[in-house]
Amino acid sequence: MMRPYSLLRTTVAVLALGCAARTQAQDLEFKKLDLDRKVDKTLAKITPEEKKETGVVLKEKTYIEYFINAKDEAERYYGVYRRIHLNEAAAVEQFNKMVLPVVSKEGLLMVKARSISRTGAVKEVGIEAVKELEEDGRLYKILAVEGLEVGGEVELMYLYQTNVSLFGSERVQEEIPLRESELHIVAPEYLVFEGKVYNGKHTRQDTSRVGEKRLLSFRSRQVPALLEEKYAAVNANSVRVEYKLAYNERKGGSRILSWNDAGARIYGFLHQGAENSAKDLGKFLSKEKIKGLPEEQAIRAVENYVKTNIALRKDAEDDIAAGVLKRKFGTQSGIIRLYVGLFESLKVPFELVVGCSRYEQQFDRSFDTWNFLDKYLIYFPNSKKFLDPENPFLRYGLFDHTLEGTDALYISTETLGNLKTGLATINRIPETPAGQNYDNIEATVSFSPNVDQMNLKYVRRMGGSQAAQLRPYYFMSNAEDRAKLVTQVLKGSTGEDVAATNVVVSNFNLNTPEVDQDFIMSADLTLKSTLERVNNRVLVKVGELIGPQTEMYNERPRQHPIDVGNVHSYTRVIKLQVPDGYRLAGQETLKRSITFANGDMGFVSGYKLEGKVLTITVEEYYKKVQLPISAYADFQKVINAAADFNKVTLILEKGSPLSNKQQ
């Protein structure tokens, strides 16, 4: 997706560098690595710990170099050298094709791959062997590497020209361990780049000069493999470097491209053509009878219209707000510009909010890289609610949960005489209130006369972000797909053999007030897979009625802090009618209580037997989104308590029922 700010980056580069004096072109530091030298055929000695991995990055050098060409234009080049030891077939498979980050060969200055076998045989391929691959409508350039084998090594290197951006992020950590890495940001000496390392206790930073160039360098040693773990923001927790241009000494000593600069620049970008659009937007609001509505009704009406009638077109030319409204499609930038114009025409107070997914990186207010400015929200101070202009499935009050609990850039309007501009402040995007996101099931269970079939009166109620996982898809589907979705949900939460009648789905319309009500799915169900007869006893797999649960068992020590997505809870109430001529056994296994003093999370289940009705209650809740690694053992207990409950089986035995009893 083309982010609104992405369109600014080249312009920013020209503004920041355009008047700088020319430096020597093509004298790239990456070229000084002498990559055409004779290949070192000596294979690395792999430690016992390294042998446990599929491969090891032995050495990595990355150069990102800026300079001014003969036309006084900024250019940027990206060069990479890597040598990897291959421990297993999986590593051979991973590295036998090098995917190049270019669309055409035009910007590719050099590419080379060498395999070094266990016996020292070397095979080399270069730019002449680069092939084009199309996948999912996208074109890739790949280089097939010959002669790779387990126990051998591979050298990969390439250099290409890329778009100029004065902000960047480089990940140092990947799925296999890394022994030694260097990252160099190279620029003319009057351009001062700054950087910051995240999660990198093995990385050190320094600056140096080579002739008339300034180098900002990061050197890493013994970086462990990045583990893929459940309930974790893996990418955000990886070792990475963020960098930005901070000063242009030929333009004075003031810091450039600050948060305030970002606020003003984004404000101006999203107000392009505002005067030319105002009349058409006002007519539209009057025609649609939105003008004059109470504030929240007006906000909802605007959002519903835009998300229902304006299509996102990635290939469209960017346009002013009135143009997007007329064409009924636009870029992401154009659509956000339309929202801005409509709300300003309505005189609805709002602020633009720009941040980033906490799963990719944590917004750091202390380091003003615009690389954090990736996702947009609109904040309404009167209601203290957000609107997500980028997600057609969400409505006013709900937004991308990966932004919850993060800092972000809030941009309000500042008036200076006749001039309006954006005033930037850093504020926090709050987490969803406890109790807003829930997924609850109520089920009344009876049995067929032969006790070989379970009959359920089933109701599932979902609210907040939990409802947003189903409601939009049901609303936007046709009748056939809606039926398939219901069947899929019911099978997933009860059993593959479930049969449903009297299905009713309520409160699914995104464009009416019912979007704020519980999304409800109710049905009469029959199941046989949850029953098993053994002689005169019937095993009732009642634990399966809460839906399948995740289990967590780690082969390695936990690497990442915990992220549960958002604050949410699950409540299950199951009322089971004991059939005539049977008594119930095993109900004591229903009692679980995994709770902690801070009350951040828990799993509590219990039961009450009144006459022939057994009422089972299950509560599972997560009141805090992010938890430290130190809480992992407790978190694992809660997750696994739910998974263990899936295995609970009650027994129906022939005989008189038990007396009334409460637990």
What pTM value is reported for the model?
Answer: 0.92
Total tally of structural domains belonging to the chain = 3
In a domain, 543, yes or no: yes
What's the confidence (pLDDT) of residue 26?
62
Q: Which two structure tokens, joined as six digits, stand for 288?
A: 């649609």
Do 410 and 443 sit in the same domain of this protein?
no
- Among candidate residues 459, 467, 565, the one with its CA nearest the CA of residue 514: 467
User: Which residues span the domain enclosing 383?
Assistant: 259-428
Do 415 and 444 sit in the same domain of this protein?
no
Residues of the chain with pLDDT below 70 are 1-26, 656-663
In a domain, 541, yes or no: yes
In a domain, 272, yes or no: yes
- Among candidate residues 360, 412, 311, the one with its CA nearest the CA of residue 171: 360
Do 168 and 284 sit in the same domain of this protein?
no
The backbone torsions φ and ψ at residue 294, rounded to the nearest 5 degrees and listed phi first, read: -55, 155
Sequence-distant (≥ 6) Cβ neighbours of residue 381 within 8 angstroms? 349, 350, 351
Can you tell me the distance from the alpha carbon of 576 to that of 455, in angstroms, rounded to the nearest whole number? 10
Do 591 and 622 sit in the same domain of this protein?
yes
Can you tell me the distance from the alpha carbon of 654 to that of 580, in angstroms, rounded to the nearest whole number? 9
In a domain, 47, yes or no: yes
Angle formed by the axes of helices 274-287 and 332-345, to 10°? 70
Do 410 and 301 sit in the same domain of this protein?
yes
Do 566 and 655 sit in the same domain of this protein?
yes
What's the confidence (pLDDT) of residue 418?
86
Do 49 and 148 sit in the same domain of this protein?
yes
Do 113 and 191 sit in the same domain of this protein?
yes
What's the confidence (pLDDT) of residue 398?
97
Do 366 and 445 sit in the same domain of this protein?
no
Last residue of a domain, one of 368, 396, 428: 428
Cβ atoms within 10 Å of 1's Cβ, excluding its own:
11
Angle formed by the axes of helices 332-345 and 295-309, to 10°? 150
What's the confidence (pLDDT) of residue 9?
54
Last residue of a domain, one of 224, 248, 272: 248
Q: Which two structure tokens, joined as six digits, stand for 45?
A: 């000695």
In a domain, 253, yes or no: no
For position 336, which CATH number holds?
A: 3.10.620.30
Do 240 and 124 sit in the same domain of this protein?
yes
In a domain, 46, yes or no: yes
- In sequence order, what E strands does 328-437 have? 329-330, 351-355, 375-380, 385-387, 407-416, 419-428
Last residue of a domain, one of 402, 428, 454: 428
In a domain, 433, yes or no: no
The backbone torsions φ and ψ at residue 515, rounded to the nearest 5 degrees and listed phi first, read: -60, -20
Do 202 and 114 sit in the same domain of this protein?
yes
Do 394 and 448 sit in the same domain of this protein?
no
In a domain, 647, yes or no: yes
